A and B are shown apart, each in its own frame.
Chain A
Amino acid sequence: MASQPRREPKRPGTADPPWVRIALIAIALVFLALFLFIPVIAVFAEALENGIGAYLAAITDPEARAAIRLTLMTAAIAVPLNVTFGIAASWAIARFDFPGKQMLLTLIDIPFSVSPVIAGMLFVLLLGIRAPLGGWLADHGIRVIFAEPGIVLATIFVTFPLAARELIPIMQAVGSEEEEAAIVLGAGGWQMFFRVTIPNVKWGLLYGLVLCNARAMGEFGAVSVVSGHIRGHTNTMPLYVEILYNDYQFAAAFAVSSLLTLLAIATLVAKHFLERRVVPARQEQDDMAVKVAA
């Protein structure tokens, strides 16, 4: 019988054998299923346990609506403020050398490195009724702690590195040449900013905005400390979920949770599409042209 040459399966020398790949993928999938998919499905299953009517009733309850309103309002204040701050800080850091630049970079990260609960405590210590500043504000009829302003402040604090952190590397990669070109061509400062600077970082900016918004709506720790949990007044959605849960109203708790979960899924989808835009934008300047026949 004519001997057939033995055919080795063709694969590059650096690839692992199939069983290694299959095992690794399986481990990753099992892990994902255990820690992500099953809980997410569980949230919706629990939320709809008593039927769609109970679900709608839970999320249209006046207290739930108040929590949703407060969450939306907090995000509506915190996100624009932090995006503005992020643009200003990243522009300053990417464009200029100034004493204390490294210090500023470190300071921006503080909210990341401090536990949110401690952040909340800081505001209570600073602005609580018994603190001098808080006392003075209370005398003038302004309540910060255990009121909406405290929640907004705490949210701003915890979300404040998000936009800046996203924009700094993009601003640095884009460089200042295009801005200089705009100025030499006769553009004023604002014209340069809106026609060149912002369009160049727009995807990164949107990405930062999405992350900032997700964190602002989902923040629990810092907000929990400053809110005082006054039902219908100072409860944000995450705090309201906790209260419902502690009251054994599981279906309602999961119903409100499902809204936050939907927000998270929407954020992930947005993040996915924005990332695809942000990464090419960063690479673009190194990229040599697709040659077009001249």
Chain B
Amino acid sequence: MSIELRNISKKFGDFVAVDNINLHIETGELVALLGLSGSGKTTLLRIIAGLETPDSGEVLFHGEDASAVKVRERKVGFVFQHYALFRHMTVFENIAFGMRVIPRRERPDEAVIARRVHELLKLVQLDFLADRYPSQLSGGQRQRVALARTLAVEPKVLLLDEPFGALDAKVRQELRRWLRRLHDEIKITSVFVTHDQEEALELANRIVVMNQGRIEQIGSAEEVYHHPANAFVYNFLGNVNLFHGRIENGRVFLGDTAVELENTHAHAHPETGKAVLYVRPHLLEIVMKPNGKQTFPATVKSINPAGPQVKVELVAEWGDMVQVEISHERYQALRLATGANVFLRPKEQKLFVYQI
């Protein structure tokens, strides 16, 4: 089922949670709503589910206005961040709940319910836990039970609110892959909310980057990561260094150093010429000697060699902290040590300059 949002706005008191949002989600898509807390992503998800009513605008399911459709008749599945499992019911009863509350005339009989519950438990690989209570399960297991419970009512749309937010890193990765496979299998239109950019990039067909109740960019992982629409998106997706500088006559000044940059779409403040530059840590290179106007001096503050890349923290000449990621080979070749005076060079011209 496709979802269409038209001019959706929602306020809580004076706080604008969702500000005039338009969004179309195709049948079978897996879409991520990505943003910081307070960006309105959860509110938007709850509006789609019908748990919140928008102040204005309309939600269309399959081209039909859903405003008048009650939550329980919308055929949406909602997975809560903290699972919201019924704590006084066993796993089996949790999953059966959606079928047990169907009016008696249409309710499947007990044998059908039991069969369906066990099918779902197999799907989430937890068949052996049917008689446990939620408090006896691990976080990852709880979340899978919550998902099975949601799928039991055969929703047309699956909405997930920070589904892996409360889990530890390892379990999160596992569940992520598992959800991806599940989606490939059952092809249900799905929307999930996350503040974790990695999760969004890895899982979603399309990413909706949200900020202060508005959509900053909609696109594939490739598009939002490599072709960010604006500084916010660039800043939000991945680590980034932030330099305060000036632009004069097309030349970028960082502190007192003029750094010649090609291909930057430099838009400085028309009067002050002030600008903010964003550079990803892996797009900076450490060199030992200055190289014309493309390098600037910095001092090594700390080195963290744990991980696939060596993370080096430096202080630029004008005082900004800079993070650089280099390969282990390069690190060994440079013989870097804390306190060393080095030079930094942007590798590619993928800098982002934004006026302030």
| A interface residue numbers (CB < 8 A to B) | 177-178, 180-188, 191, 195-196, 199-200, 202, 284-285, 287-292, 294
Contacts and interface: CB of A to CB of B under 8 A. Distances in A.
Interface stretch (B79-87, B277-285, B295-303, B314-322): B79-87
Contacts of A183: 51, 71-72
Contacts, number: 85
A186 B135 contact: no
Contacts of A181: 78, 80, 84-86, 149
B76 A184 contact: yes
A290 B141 CA distance: 11
Given A180-B51, A181-B78, A289-B141, A187 B84 contact: no
B102 interface: yes
Interface string B133-166: 0011111111000000110110000000000000
B132 A184 contact: no
Interface in B107-140: 129, 132, 135-140
Contacts of A184: 49, 51, 71-72, 76-78, 150
B136 A180 contact: no
Nearest to A174: B87
B97 interface: yes
B84 A177 contact: yes
Interface residues of B, number: 33
B138 A185 contact: no
A188 B87 CA distance: 19
B88 interface: yes
B101 interface: yes
Contact of B86 (A178, A186, A287, A292): A178
B88 A292 contact: no
27 contacts: A177-B80, A177-B82, A178-B84, A178-B85, A178-B86, A178-B87, A180-B78, A181-B78, A181-B84, A182-B86, A184-B71, A184-B77, A184-B150, A185-B72, A185-B149, A185-B152, A187-B97, A188-B101, A191-B101, A195-B101, A199-B86, A200-B88, A202-B88, A285-B87, A289-B137, A289-B141, A294-B138
B153 A199 contact: no
Looking at A180, A183, A199, A294, which has the most chain B CB atoms within 10 Å of its CB?
Answer: A294
Given A181-B84, A184-B49, A292 B71 contact: no
Given A180-B51, A294-B141, A187 B136 contact: no
Interface of B: 49, 51, 71-73, 76-78, 80, 82, 84-88, 97-98, 101-102, 129, 132, 135-142, 149-150, 152-153
B138 A292 contact: yes
Nearest to B166: A288
A188 B84 CA distance: 17
Contacts of B153: 185-186
B97 A180 contact: no
A185 B139 contact: no
B51 A292 contact: no
Contacts of A287: 135
A200 B135 CA distance: 13
Contacts of A284: 87, 135
Instruction: Please give me the 7 A-B residue pairs with the lowest Cβ-Cβ distance, nearest first.
Output: A177-B84, A185-B98, A181-B84, A187-B101, A184-B78, A199-B88, A186-B72
A196 B86 contact: yes
A185 B51 contact: no
B150 A185 contact: yes
B72 A292 contact: no
B113 to A, nearest CB: 13
Nearest to B132: A292
Nearest to B135: A284
Contact of B101 (A180, A186, A200, A289): A186
A242 to B, nearest CB: 45
Contacts of B86: 178, 181-182, 195-196, 199
Nearest to B88: A199
A187 B153 CA distance: 11
A191 B150 CA distance: 17
B98 A186 contact: yes
Nearest to A179: B84
Contacts of A290: 135-136
B274 to A, nearest CB: 43
Contacts of B73: 186
A184 B70 CA distance: 9
B287 to A, nearest CB: 48
A177 B161 CA distance: 12
Contacts of A191: 101
B155 to A, nearest CB: 9
A288 B139 contact: yes
A184 B140 CA distance: 22
Contact of A289 (B82, B84, B88, B135): B135
Given A182-B97, A184-B49, A292-B129, 4 more contacts: A177-B82, A181-B78, A181-B80, A195-B97
A91 B17 CA distance: 26
Contacts of B139: 288-289
A181 B77 CA distance: 9
A253 to B, nearest CB: 46
A188 B72 contact: yes
Contacts of A187: 72, 97, 101
B194 to A, nearest CB: 18
Contacts of A291: 138
